Each structure stands twice: as C-alpha cells, then as structure tokens.
C-alpha cells in the first residue's frame, strides 16, 4: 500500500535544476554552468580555470542528498559539485564540464562515493580530462559499516562520512598543497571514517508515492541513502539502544572497518536523513558522546550535528566516526565559506554545563529541609495543605488540559502545568510555610524554574505580585482580606504585563470572578472559609463560560470560533482547578 504526498514541486523533472537556481540565488558566492538540463554543475563564483592557482576539489553524485554536494561548494571546501538527477550519477559530459571549468595548472581531485555509477562516470571523465592535459586524481569513499564485509567488487557504500573527507581535502587545497598531497590527505581521511544509518521511514522520490515498506513501529538499520534496503528491520527502540547498536557496528573489532581503538581521539558527525527535526538530532548527539567516552574509551574532539547528506524526506539519522589526529583537526577547523558546513563547531569544548547563578539572598539560606529546623504553625499547616491540594489537582487533570489545548493551542498546557506542579511538590519541604509571603515567592521561583513558556512566566508574575502585596503587610500572620488583596494584585499584574482582561478567554476569566466574589463575601461579613469556597465556584463557572468566548490573547486567537466553542479555555480551567482544590482543602482542614 502507498499514499500520495504533499510536495512543493511543480514538475518532478525540474527539481534538480530549480534547486540549483534557488541555491545560487541564495548564496552570492556560487554560480552554475549554463548547460541545463544536461549539465548541472555548481561552482565557486571566484574561481576560473584560467587563473586558479590551487588544487580544485570536485565531488558530486545523484541529487536528493541536499545539502550535499552543492551546499558544500565554497572556499576551503569543494570547488565544484556535479549534480546528477535524483539518485542517479551525473553524466560524463557534466563531470567533464565541471573539471574544465575550475581546474587550473595544479590539477583537480575528484572525491567519489563508492557506487558503481559514480565510479564509472567519474572514472571515465577523469580519463578524458587527462587526455586533454589535466592533472586528475581520484579518491573513492566507502565508509558504510552497516553491512558485512562485501564480496566481489561492489565494496562499501559511500555515506555521510564523505562530507568530512570533503572538508579535509578542501582545507588542504586551500593551504596550497600539491595535488598528490591533497589526494593523500583525502585518502587517509576516507580510510579512518565509518558510518551507519538508521531510518524510521523510506523516502519519497519526486513524482512518486511514498511506500510503506517500513510499517508502523519499525525502523531499518543500515538503510542506504538511496532508500535501498539495509542490514535489518527491527522494532523501534529507545535512542540510547539504537545509538549503542550503531556504535558497536562502526567500531566493531570483528569487521575492523575503522582503525579506532580505546584511548584514541575521534570526530563525531550526527547526520539527519532529511525529515528528522534538529531537536531529535541533538538528542541523538547528546546520547552518543557519553557512550563514545564511557563505553568505548574514546575522546570526542569535535561534534558536527545537522543535515549534511540526506535522502530526500527520509526520517532517521546516520552516525559517522572519524579517527582524529592533529592534522585532521587542523583541516576540519580551517575556515570555509561553504554554506552548509557548521562553522560554529570548531575548537575545543569548554565544560558543557556551568552552575546556575544564585541570588545573593539565597546564598545565606540553609540547605536543611524546613521540617528539621522549624515547627510549622497552624497557618503554615493550612497553607501547606492548600498548596499540595492545588498541585495534585493539576497533576490529575494533565491529560484533560492537553486534550483541550490540542484543539485550541499547541497541546501542551497540561504538560506545562504538570511540570510546575511537580516542582512545587518537590520544593515544598523547603518552603518557609510560617511566612506566607516568602512561601508565595518561593512558589513563583519553583514555577519560573520548571514551567517555561507563556504559562510559566504568567504564573511567575502572578506569584511574585502576590508576594509584593503580602510583603507590604507588617503583620506576622496574613488575614483573609490580605489574601484577597494579594489575589487582586496578582490579577492586575498579569493583566498589565500579559495584556489580557475579562472576556479574553484566558486564565483571568476564572480568576477575576473568583477575586470579585471573594472580596464581596469578605466585605459582607462572610466567614473566610465559606468565602473561599464560593469564590472557587465562581472561578469554575468563569472558566466554563470561556466556551462562549472568542479568544483575544494567546495561540487561540488563530483558531476559528467554531472550534473554540467545543472546549473551554485550558488555561482558565487549570486556574479554576487549582483554586477550587485549594479552597476545598482549606475547608477540610478547618473541619478536621
């Protein structure tokens, strides 16, 4: 079974030439030869064969691997890239045109991935160029470590490790080395790098439908960059497990594909295959480095993470490990103007993390839990049960909040509130519960540290504003009216900085009615516990009324009224939930 895909493509036959046109329009240091559609060559705009006094470094292959190869044309890397059709080797005529365009007296180096079509076409072009008087050397890259040692003449496939070879050769050429020396460095680099890929999906060739050869919950180990089958299909595993398997394959002493042993230094490349988000690639990199260090005893000198050699829209990644020495690191760190080389990855790493700065006011605080240093008074106990009840209520409605937010927002309201609630429950043992104002401030700090996003800053403002209001009171205890004033001050601060007010379909539509009822009941002489309960009912009613409101703040403003009318505002429901839970807990405490 297959299914159609949505693509920003007008004519599948024109994808390569239109890609080249867009690339050259984007980067002023690039040009292309006017030979479409037969000749598809991207070259440095500052290089002419008649005047170029360095070794030209040329690579290429079938298209569909962008940014490879054209994205790595630039001073300090490739001089030209020869682009074939999708997953098809470029023609001999196209390769020969590229050689003629950029090769000066010092000659050119062809870097070729180990595929039969590439070897044949680049090989014939090299021989023809030599017959015309050009100096030409060729380096074949076969860095695949996924499959058993090959029999026959096919050899190991060329994969993302080729990009590291490009960089080494390009830097050597830029340094003015001879053709023989540039070729020698490139050959050495190709012999000390190994790569293995893992795919979660197959790719979609322009104009064709996407195959579901990889079913739900499956991944393919060692899949080729043209979508060709790999070593095995397996159930999807956690990133840690997948990374461990890949590293074992690359560094296997049985196949000995890469001459790397414990105690040596390496370079790591984590390469996206086309549809893998940067976040997932960084997660993979973060798992890979400590495994190389701790499980394989290797020092990781450089880490390059991104999409370098893709397979159209394939989801997955490859890992390349290159043995490092001082010369290779020098070449990798050398400057380049290639658009897609990660220029910020050079140099030695400082420590990955440093301590979070601590406010001076907190430095004097004891590290001992509150329970060991001070007996909690009656008001502190009431405050404690209210806080715990409010936090637990949010934890219990996490999924409901996410479901509502999935319809009118980005689907993470419950998860965000959950993080804040968990942080509060973890930190409450250190709250100074006998000091209400300080406790409220600490709640704000717990939220600010854990929640993030708009909700996090809104609630941090909310609790810090309440703290300022409570702190203005000189009394040791806090009266019910002072709590009401603190709530009103918090609402005013959120409205001031967030821009929302009543009727905007936000958490204020729960808190404003609650504040009004609380103030009204207290002023009329109602006992504080009853006033709190009645105000919590108003909060819940206010939150539920948001079903009938048109959003005027937050992501919900982009949602149609028809969709909004199906669910209440998640932020308002969250506020009503914790407020109601706190009120019921206080009531239960007084009645116990």
For residue 69, give both structure tokens. 């190869």
CA distances from 105 to 53, 101, 128, 312 (A): 7, 12, 16, 37
The dihedral built from the CA positions of residue 570, 576, 580 and 581, taken in this order, carries a sign that is: positive
Nearest to 457, CA basis, from 571, 562, 569: 571
Identify the active-site residue in 65, 69, 166, 226: 226
Quote the CA–CA distance of 122 and 133 in Å, as a whole number: 16
Q: Which of 16, 2, 4 is nearest to 312 (CA)?
A: 16
Q: DSSP assignment, residue 357? A: P
Instruction: Give which of 182, 62, 164, 188 is closest to 121, Cα–Cα.
Output: 62
Q: CA 89, CA 92: separation in Å to the nearest integer?
A: 9
Active site residue 226: yes
Determine the Cα–Cα distance for residues 456 and 147; give it in Å rounded to an integer.
49
Residue 109 near residue 173, CB atoms below 8 Å: yes
DSSP 569: -
Distance CA 455, CA 294 (A): 39
CA 312 to chain CA centroid, nearest Å: 19
Strands 193-199 and 218-221: antiparallel
Give the C-alpha separation, 491 to 510, whole Å: 10
User: Active-site residues: which are they?
Assistant: 226
């Amino acid at each position: 079974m297959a299914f159609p895909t949505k693509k920003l493509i007008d004519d599948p036959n024109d994808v390569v030439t239109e890609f080249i046109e867009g690339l050259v329009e984007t980067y002023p240091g690039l040009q292309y030869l006017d030979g479409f559609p037969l000749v598809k060559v991207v070259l440095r705009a500052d290089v002419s064969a008649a005047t170029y006094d360095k070794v030209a470094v040329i690579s290429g292959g079938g298209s569909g691997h962008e940014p490879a190869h054209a994205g790595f044309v630039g001073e300090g890397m490739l001089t030209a890239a020869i682009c074939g059709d999708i997953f098809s080797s470029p023609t001999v005529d196209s390769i020969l045109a590229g050689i003629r365009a950029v090769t000066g007296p010092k000659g050119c180096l062809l870097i070729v991935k180990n595929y039969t079509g590439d070897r044949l076409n680049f090989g014939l072009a090299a021989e023809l160029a030599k017959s015309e008087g050009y100096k030409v050397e060729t380096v074949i890259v076969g860095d695949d470590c996924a499959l058993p040692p090959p029999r026959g003449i096919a050899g190991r496939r060329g994969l993302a490790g080729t990009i590291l070879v490009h960089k080494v050769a390009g830097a050597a050429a830029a340094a003015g080395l001879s053709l023989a020396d540039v070729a020698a460095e490139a050959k050495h680099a190709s012999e000390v790098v190994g790569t293995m890929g893992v795919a979660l999906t197959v790719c979609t060739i322009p104009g064709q439908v996407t195959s579901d050869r990889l079913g739900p919950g499956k991944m393919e180990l060692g899949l080729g960059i043209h979508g060709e089958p790999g070593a095995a299909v397996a159930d999807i595993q956690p990133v840690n497990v997948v990374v461990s398997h890949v590293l074992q394959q690359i560094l296997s002493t049985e196949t000995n594909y890469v001459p790397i042993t414990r105690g040596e230094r390496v370079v790591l490349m984590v390469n996206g295959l086309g549809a893998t988000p940067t976040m997932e690639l960084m997660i993979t990199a973060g798992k890979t480095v400590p495994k190389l260090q701790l499980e394989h005893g290797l020092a990781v000198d450089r880490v390059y993470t991104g999409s370098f050699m893709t397979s159209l829209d394939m989801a997955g990644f490859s890992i390349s490990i290159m043995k490092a020495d001082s010369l290779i690191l020098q070449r990798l760190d050398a400057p380049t103007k290639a658009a897609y080389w990660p220029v910020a990855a050079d140099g030695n790493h400082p420590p990955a993390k440093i301590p979070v700065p601590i406010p001076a006011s907190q430095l004097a605080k004891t590290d001992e839990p509150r329970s060991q240093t001070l007996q909690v008074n009656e008001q502190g106990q009431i405050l404690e049960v209210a806080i715990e009840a409010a936090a637990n209520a949010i934890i219990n409605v996490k999924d409901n909040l996410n479901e509502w937010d999935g319809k009118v927002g980005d689907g993470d309201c419950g998860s965000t509130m959950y993080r804040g609630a968990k942080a509060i429950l973890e930190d409450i043992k250190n709250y100074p519960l006998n000091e209400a104002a300080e406790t409220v401030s600490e709640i704000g700090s717990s939220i600010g540290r854990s929640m993030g996003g708009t909700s996090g800053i809104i609630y941090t403002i909310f609790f810090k504003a309440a703290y300022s209001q409570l702190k203005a009171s000189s009394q040791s205890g806090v009266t019910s009216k002072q709590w009401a004033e603190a709530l009103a001050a918090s609402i005013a601060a959120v409205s001031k900085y967030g821009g929302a007010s009543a009727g905007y379909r936000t958490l204020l539509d729960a808190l404003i009615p609650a504040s009004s009822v609380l103030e009204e009941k207290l002023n009329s002489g109602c006992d504080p516990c009853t006033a709190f309960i009645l105000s919590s009912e108003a909060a819940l009613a206010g939150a539920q009324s948001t079903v009938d409101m048109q959003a005027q703040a937050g992501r919900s403003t982009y949602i149609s009224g028809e969709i909004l009318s199906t669910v209440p505002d998640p932020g308002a429901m969250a506020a009503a939930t914790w407020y109601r839970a706190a009120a019921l807990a206080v009531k239960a405490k007084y009645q116990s």
